[in-house]
Chains A and B, each alone.
Chain A
Amino acid sequence: MARVTVRLPRLLSPVADGDRHVIVEADDIDGVVAGLLDRHPGLRAHLFDEAGRLRPHVLCAVDGQPTRLDGPIRPLRDGSRVVFVPSVAGG
């Protein structure tokens, strides 16, 4: 399994025991998400809606490639980085 770093937005760090970086070992992105939510179940309501979709104003990137977590994603490797960030708008 790959050892992956998940980076969380600052606003969600209290839900993850104050951490902004969570190390998860998984074979694929589904495993990363499962591992993240298993460790910090309170994150589920903040990252995903009732339909199980990534919230509309939350962005996810895997090794710099944006994804809605609903399509093919390049294989993970040791050191891969999964980032959740809030979308930015305004001026």
Chain B
Amino acid sequence: MVTLAVGTEKGGWLLRSRDRDAWEVSGPLFPGWRVTALGRAPGGTYLAGVASDWFGPAVHRSRDLADWEQVVHGPSFPEGGDRTLNEIWTIQPAGEAVWAGVDEAGLFRSTDDGASWAPVAGFNDRPDRDVWMPGAGGLCAHRVLAAGDRLWVGVSAVGVLRSEDRGVSFRRADGGMPTTVSEADGAPAAGFCVHGLVADPDDPDRIWRQDHLGVFRTADGGDHWERVEAGLPGAFGFPVVRDHATGRLFVVPLHSDQNRVPVDGRFRVYCSDDDGDSWRVAGTGWPDGPTYTIVLRGAMTTDGLDPCGVYAGTTSGAVWGSVDGGEAWRRLPGTFPRILAVAAFPDT
């Protein structure tokens, strides 16, 4: 049994399947709200980040994906300050905690399955924040990787920050990366526009990065990055995910930052079986006709089953999936509003 939770501009939906062949759609959840992040806390509680242009963001909790309750003490910047919390961008469990990355760039931690959240001062109060700048999607902490006491937080358009002490302190992890801004004397403190991050759980220093300026990898936790784009029709894109059983990587290449569509309308997921040394179209099943749609950074995921399921939700409201590790792809049922987030919950 697998449940895909799909968050969109206007509500959320669930796609459930016992065999990953026949899918049943239910919803909407949170009608009228943007569903911007979906995840599961270590204790099993499901979490959803929602937002409204009028009424701001909130985190909701559920034990069964059906009945949801808003968290009263959700992520929030200190009252009386000038920093506003606009959106929950990612919800990432790690060990006994769950982390939330938000816009305006902030990091929050819960140790009670999302019932209450505390700000991470080592991140939120960094002295170099005054030179941080937003990307097109805002100034957002949108990716969190965690391994033991170590954390990596991706921020647009700032870069990757790494902590070795569970978020007490952070340092830059953009070694060798190009920047989207003119580099002044010395190392720039911002302008590294990371879009997607995924790490090898068996060696967390091995990280792949879909960046504004291309696809990169590091073997030392971000001290040195190298470009890995051979075979991609375009280096721009948003998500990168990995089948950890086989090591296969997946990205969705787009034409360029100025033209954020698939090259020639050929919507395809690409994959790499050699850690990014080379890329090819992932399997078959892709549309023959022009398909100018894209996959946002939070809208691609894997289910961790064997063989691995890989799922991508598009800005045109389609969910594409493969349940054989990325070889045979098809559209799953439903056409939804613009998809912002996709999460897979196996065994539900």
Which residue numbers of A lie inside 8 Å of B, CB to CB?
Answer: 9-12, 14-15, 41-42, 45-47, 49-52, 55, 57-58, 86-87
A26 to nearest B CB, angstroms?
A: 21
Q: Is the CB of A50 within 8 A of B52?
A: no
In chain A, what residue has the closest Cβ to B86?
Answer: A49
Say which size band chain B's interface belongs to: 20 to 34
- 19 chain-A/chain-B pairs, Cβ below 8 angstroms: A9-B54, A9-B55, A15-B70, A42-B58, A42-B71, A42-B72, A46-B52, A46-B55, A49-B56, A49-B84, A50-B77, A50-B78, A51-B80, A51-B81, A55-B54, A55-B56, A58-B54, A58-B55, A86-B54
Given A42-B72, A45-B58, CB of A11 within 8 Å of CB of B52 = yes
B180 to nearest A CB, angstroms?
A: 29
- 9 cross-chain pairs, A with B, having the tightest CB-CB distances, nearest first: A46-B55, A86-B54, A42-B70, A57-B54, A41-B72, A50-B77, A11-B32, A42-B72, A50-B79
Q: Is the CB of B53 within 8 A of A50?
A: no
Which residue numbers of B lie inside 8 Å of A, CB to CB?
Answer: 32-33, 52-58, 70-72, 74, 76-85
Q: Is the CB of B83 within 8 A of A12?
A: no
Report chain B residues within 8 Å CB of A52: 79-80
In chain B, what residue has the closest Cβ to A44?
Answer: B72
Report chain A residues within 8 Å CB of B79: 50-52
Report chain B residues within 8 Å CB of A55: 54-56
Report chain B residues within 8 Å CB of A57: 53-54
> In whole angstroms, what is the CA distance A38 to B54 when docked?
21
Report chain A residues within 8 Å CB of B33: 11
Report chain B residues within 8 Å CB of A9: 54-55
Report chain A residues within 8 Å CB of B81: 50-51
Q: Is the CB of A45 within 8 A of B54?
A: no
Given A50-B84, A51-B82, A52-B80, CB of A86 within 8 Å of CB of B72 = no
Given A41-B72, A42-B72, CB of A50 within 8 Å of CB of B55 = no
In chain B, what residue has the closest Cβ to A11?
Answer: B32
A46 to nearest B CB, angstroms?
A: 4
Q: Is the CB of A45 within 8 A of B76?
A: yes
Report chain A residues within 8 Å CB of B80: 50-52
Report chain A residues within 8 Å CB of B57: 45
Q: Is the CB of A86 within 8 A of B55?
A: yes
> In whole angstroms, what is the CA distance A11 to B28 when docked?
14
